A = this chain, B = another copy of it.
Amino acid sequence: MKLMSTPKGDGFHLPAEFESKSEGFMIWPQRPDNWRDGGKPVQKVFVELASVLVKYQPMTVLVNESQYKNARSMLPSKIRVLEMSNNDAFVKDTGPLYLINENKDIRCMDFNFNAWGGLLDGLYFPWDKDNEITRKLADLYNQDIYKSDFTLEGCSIVTDGQGTLITTEEVVLSEGRNKGITKLEAENIMKKFLGVEKVIWLPEGFFMDEAGGDVDNVVNFIKPGEVVLSWTEDTTDPQYKISQKAFDILSKAKDAQGRKFIIHKMLLPEKKVVLSKEQANGVDPINGMLPRVEGQRLTATYVNYITLNEVIIIPEFNDVNDQKAKE
């Protein structure tokens, strides 16, 4: 049921990613203007990832009708495959923000989704199926849902589950998402609909992040009061200044409970991860809104890991810093 009240008023808030969870969702990738070679390589990777995740929690993969049979046949039978129309595979951005209350009841928060920038600088058009996913997933379990016209994706925010939220001005205040909104107005919306009490603003997200400033490639909560921060000592890296600035802000900030942050600097892969010629050429150029050129820098960081109840899934880049990240 769509609720007309607010999460804050009803005692619901956004939990931290490190809090316990009961299951996971992925969306099957397929669009050839975003995934190279008709999506075939990434589909294999998604099967591999889902097969790892399902060892620790039930997994459901959502899929467009046109790829249903392929997804069902490629995925192990213990992974549930449900038909759900989508425009692309980013369920962390398009699915519900799950809210909980003291009794661990679950409700869904449905912000507007416009493909990371809508008609101005969104990554594709249309995005209407993606914008329906939260509602459909809420329906799947008969979960109550709150709705706001504010545009916000899951990757734009991280929280400690104790009232603190970190986001970026670049993403939340972007003209393509929430044109003309003030920081104060945005803060009040996030407080009302995510049940947080303090919003910490970083100016920018990861350098060249194509979503335009997502916070989750820059910083992640390990536990309340303690964060990891994407880091580089390479002063020629454009990410250097972004990470420095984030460090300054977080060093001076206090969280919602009045604590100072313990900040762990997490080195980026030492060798910059870039697009190969083969990879660039594998993507259909019909989208036209993104550079897909040989040598282009990719968003490669260790901080955007996946936290499950028992384990952490962390990316590897065949880099000298992989081992440090794991430690």
Contacts and interface: CB of A to CB of B under 8 A. Distances in A.
Given A65-B65, A68-B132, A132-B68, A83 B84 contact: yes
A77 B1 contact: yes
A55 B19 CA distance: 36
A248 to B, nearest CB: 47
* In the complex, the 8 A-B pairs of residues with the closest C-beta atoms, listed nearest first: A65-B85, A1-B77, A80-B139, A83-B84, A83-B83, A81-B139, A80-B142, A83-B85
Interface class of chain A by DSSP: mixed
B82 A139 contact: yes
Q: Which range holds the interface residue count of chain A?
A: 20 to 34
A140 interface: yes
B136 A77 contact: no
Contacts of A139: 72, 80-82
Contacts of A78: 1, 142
A256 to B, nearest CB: 34
Contacts of A81: 139
Interface of A: 1-2, 58, 65, 68-69, 72, 77-78, 80-85, 129, 132, 135-136, 139-140, 142
Given A2-B77, A80-B142, A82-B140, 18 more contacts: A1-B77, A65-B65, A65-B85, A68-B85, A68-B132, A68-B136, A69-B132, A72-B139, A78-B142, A80-B139, A81-B139, A82-B82, A82-B136, A82-B139, A83-B83, A83-B84, A83-B85, A83-B136
A10 B80 CA distance: 23
A69 B135 CA distance: 11
A70 to B, nearest CB: 13
Contacts of A77: 1-2
A68 B72 CA distance: 22
A292 to B, nearest CB: 29
A159 to B, nearest CB: 28
A22 to B, nearest CB: 14
Contacts of A1: 77-78
Nearest to A65: B85
A85 B139 CA distance: 17
A139 to B, nearest CB: 5
Contacts of A82: 82, 136, 139-140
Most-contacted residue by chain B among A83, A136, A140 (CB, 10 A): A83
Nearest to A64: B65
Contacts of A69: 132
Contacts of A72: 135, 139
A80 B80 CA distance: 19
A213 B132 CA distance: 41
Nearest to A145: B77
26 contacts: A1-B77, A1-B78, A2-B77, A58-B142, A65-B65, A65-B85, A65-B129, A68-B85, A68-B132, A68-B136, A69-B132, A72-B135, A72-B139, A78-B142, A80-B139, A80-B140, A80-B142, A81-B139, A82-B82, A82-B136, A82-B139, A82-B140, A83-B83, A83-B84, A83-B85, A83-B136
